[in-house]
Homo-oligomer: A and B are copies of this chain.
Amino acid sequence: MECLAHFNIMETNPTTKQKGFPPVGHRRWVIAEGYIPGTSIGPKPAMVSHETACVLNVSEEDAHLEITIFYSDQEPIGPYKVTVPARRTKHIRFNDLTDPQPIPRDKDYASVIESNVAVVVQHTRLDSRQAENALMTTMAFADTETVMMR
């Protein structure tokens, strides 16, 4: 197998001997579908209806995210600020976002996720409004344009 010049054993972490990854992904992602059901059935918290943006930051730098929520009948709200540390994943539940304000239940929305370093974003919804769950997932849309951070 090939081994490129910028291959990089992380000298600062000799016990796990993990290689370092360059940033992978993009710096702006879009999820056009968003909807948090207002009711749930099943044990909490795993079975509470939720809408999730799963973010992976493989890089050696913390990713500072800014999430903007768009609605059908009002101006967009944001930024919601979330940090995904270096070499970590974070499964962000839209249900849990509260600052600047919670996302209403039973209302259509969409989101734009911007980051200072490249990340990968996948969208998942667990809907437990009825006795059995329904699941759906998709990779978010990766925008290839330059990101404008605030």
A positions within 8 Å CB-CB of B? 1-4, 6-8, 13, 16, 18-19, 21-22, 24-25, 28, 30-35, 42, 46-47, 52, 54-56, 58, 64, 68, 70-73, 75-78, 87-91, 106, 108-110, 112, 116, 120-127, 129-143, 145-150
Instruction: Determine whether the beta carbon of A58 is less than 8 Å from that of B112.
Output: yes
Instruction: Determine whether the beta carbon of B3 is less than 8 Å from that of A149.
Output: yes
CB A12 to nearest CB in B, in angstroms, measures 11
CB A71 to nearest CB in B, in angstroms, measures 7
Taking CB as reference atom, which chain B residue is nearest A75? B16
Of B25, B87, B146, which contacts A143 at CB under 8 A?
B25
CB A80 to nearest CB in B, in angstroms, measures 13
- From known contacts A130-B132, A149-B3, infer whether A139 and B141 are also in contact, taking CB-CB under 8 Å: yes
- Which of A6, A18, A52, A148 is the most central at the interface, judged by chain B CB atoms within 10 Å of its CB? A148
- From known contacts A89-B32, A89-B110, A130-B132, infer whether A4 and B150 are also in contact, taking CB-CB under 8 Å: no
Instruction: Determine whether the beta carbon of B91 is less than 8 Å from that of A72.
Output: yes
Taking CB as reference atom, which chain B residue is nearest A100? B16
